[in-house]
Amino acid sequence: MRYLLLIYEQEPTETPPDDVAAAEYAAYDAFTREVRDRGIFEAGEALRTTATATTVRVRDGETIATDGPFAETKEALGGFYLLNARDLDEAIELAAKIPAAKRGSIEVRPIWDLEVAPGATSGAAETVG
């Protein structure tokens, strides 16, 4: 089953020392290598800070774009992994290995594989654009 592992942690207020950043990159590299080697990696990306976000709403037919995130929270979405895990137990096991789990949280969400009519598209990218 496919799971999206959403990585939440507090956004840094300053640049970490080089050795701390290098250790963090190495830890993420090791995790990514593990899920690739297990053949369950489908996608994964880091996100820029919420200061670069744009929130879009449509109200009364008008599109409103606002700089910044929608909600004020202590933890921000910093990235994700899309994995094809055997089951929820394996997804949880892997989520616990993500470096940010030690100081933030990892939300594990199953992908809702929608049944569609023959000939219809099922991917969001295909329907959007």
Flag whether pLDDT at 117 surpasses 60: no
> Tell me: the pLDDT tens digits for 11-27?
888 899 999 999 999 99
Which structure tokens are listed for 100? 């940010």
> Tell me: the pLDDT tens digits for 33-57?
999 999 999 999 999 988 899 989 9
59-63 average pLDDT score? 96
CA–CA gap between residue 32 and residue 42 (Å, rounded): 11
Flag whether pLDDT at 75 surpasses 50: yes
For the chain, the residue count is 129
Name all domains of the chain by residue range, CATH numbers in brackets.
2-113 (3.30.70.1060)
